[in-house]
Structure 1
Amino acid sequence: MNTDVLNVLKQRRSIYALGKEVKQSPDEIAKTVADVIEETPTAFNSQTTRAVFLFGDKHDQLWDIVVKRLKSEVPTAEAYAKTQEKINSFKAGFGTILYFTDTAVVKQLEKDFTLYADNFATWAEQAQGSAQLNTWTTLANNNIGASLQHYNPLIDELVAEAFDIPANWTLRAQMPFGSIEAPAGSKDYMDRADRFKLLK
C-alpha cells in the first residue's frame, strides 16, 4: 500500500521548542489552514468548526491572558514559575490557532434532526479532532512545529472579550506553532495486541 500519508503523519509531533523563524507569511498560513479545515469532513456537512488565527501582538496577548489567568490556579510560587516557563515556550512561537465549535449550528441540527439529536455534539467534537489533526499534519509537512493545548474553559470569557468572539463559539483548543527549535522526544507505542483486533 502507498504510505505517503502515513509518512506525513509521522512528521506530526508535539513540538514545544518553538521559534519565529517561519518562512511562510501569516496570510499564507491562514489561507492554507482555512483550506484544510474546509476540506475536513463533518457529519451532515455541518461545518461546525471555527478558527481564529493570531499573529504578532495578538498571539502574544493570548499567552499573556493565559499566564495571568493561571496564576490563581497554581498553588505555589515555584509551580507558577514552571507554568510561566511553559507558557513562554508557546508565546515564543510564530502564531496560534484558536479552535471553536459553533454551538448555534449544533443546536439547530438537534432541532432539525431530532432522531440524531443526542449525537450532534459528539460529531462536532469529532470534526474538531479531524480539523486539528489535518491542520497539525499540514503544518508539519511545511516544517512548522506545533502542539495542541487546552486551557479552556478557564480562559473562555477572557478570550471572547479580547478577540471579539461570537457568544455561540465555544473554545475547544489552542495550537501554538512556529519554527522547530528542537525536535520532539521519542514516542512510545502500546502493544498492538492490546489496541487492535483483526478478524478474517
Structure 2
Amino acid sequence: MERKFKEALAHRRSYYALSNKSLISDEEIENIVKFAVKNIPSAFNSQSTRMVLLLGEQHVKLWNIVKDTLRKIVPAEAFKTTENKIDKSFASGYGTVLFFEERKVVEGLQKSFPTYQEKFPLWSQQTSAMHQLAVWTMLEDVGFGASLQHYNPLIDETVLKEWQLPETWELIAQMPFGVPLQEPGTKEFNSIEERVRIFK
C-alpha cells in the first residue's frame, strides 16, 4: 500500500477483531520490525529498544500465558469475559510484537551522564513509544490491524523465562496484529485549538 506518511498516520487505528491471516510473507513482517529497530531515533543514540516477534504457535503461547496469569487473579465469574476478549481480539490474530527496553543501557547512561540521570528512564519510554507507533503504522499500511496492550508487569517473569530473554529486558507493551475482521469504532477528537498553541 505504502501511503504517504501523513496518510499512514491518520489511517492507524486500534483493531480488536482480528483473523490469523496475513497478506504478506513472514519475512516482510520481520523486515518491518528490523526497519523500526534500525531507524527510529533514541536519546543519546542509546538504541535501548528491544523487540520480539512472535508468529504462529509462539504467538498463541503468549496469549495462553496471559490467560493463565489472569486466571489466578480474576474472579471466576468475571474470567469468562476476560478469556473471551483475549481469544477474539488478541490470540485470534496472526502475530504479536513485544516491546522491551534494555535497562542495562539506561542504567549505563545514568552513570555516564549523572546530570540527566533522572530523565533517562523517561527518555527510554519515549524511545519505546516511537518504535510502537512506527511498527503499528507500518503493519497497518500493509493491511494488518493492530492494537497496543499492557499486561505487564503481570506476565513479565514468565515471558522472559519462556523465550529465554535477558533479565534486564523490561517489557513495555504487547502488539497483537492480524487481518481485520471489522472496521474500528468511531474516533472522537478533542479540539485542536485546546491542544496546540502557536505564537508568531
Q: Distance in 2 between matches of 1:139 and 1:108?
A: 32
Which residue is equivalent to 2:194?
A: 194
Which runs of 4 or more aligned residues in structure 1 lie more than 3 Å from their structure 2 counterparts after TM superposition? none
Q: 1:25: Cα distance to partner?
A: 2.0
2:105 aligned with 1:97, yes or no?
no
- Aligned mates of 1:63, 1:76 — CA distance in 2: 18
How many Å apart are 1:76 and its aligned residue? 4.2
Counterpart CA distance in 2 for 1:86 and 1:163 is: 24
State the secondary structure of the residue aligned to 2:90: helix
Equivalent residue letter for 1:110:
Q
1:3-30 Cα offsets, whole Å, 9 max, x none, are 9322111111001111122122222201
What fraction of aligned residue pairs are identical, expressed as a percent? 42
The answer (yes or no) to whether the contact 1:106–1:124 under 8 Å persists in 2 is: yes
Count of residues paired in the alignment: 197
Equivalent in the alignment of 1:179: 179
- Tell me by how many angstroms 1:72 deviates: 2.4
The two structures have a TM-score, normalised by structure 2, of 0.95
Task: Tell me the distance in 1 between the aligned counterparts of 2:28 and 2:192.
Answer: 39
The answer on whether the counterparts of 1:109 and 1:117 sit within 8 Å (CA) in structure 2 is yes
Whole-Å separation in 1 of the counterparts to 2:64 and 2:21: 21
Task: Check if 1:85 corresponds to 2:81.
Answer: no
Q: Greater CA deviation, 16-25 or 164-173?
A: 16-25
Shift of 1:73: 2.4
Distance in 2, matches of 1:91 and 1:27, equals: 21
Letter in 2 for 1:84: E
**3-state DSSP of counterpart to 1:41:** coil
2:38 corresponding residue in structure 1:
38
Q: Is the 8 A contact 1:9 1:137 kept in 2?
A: yes
Name the structure 2 match of 1:108: 108
TM-score by length of 1: 0.95
Question: What is the SS of the residue equivalent to 2:186?
Answer: coil
Other structure's SS at 2:118 match = helix
Whether the 8 Å contact between 2:33 and 2:51 is mirrored in structure 1 is: no
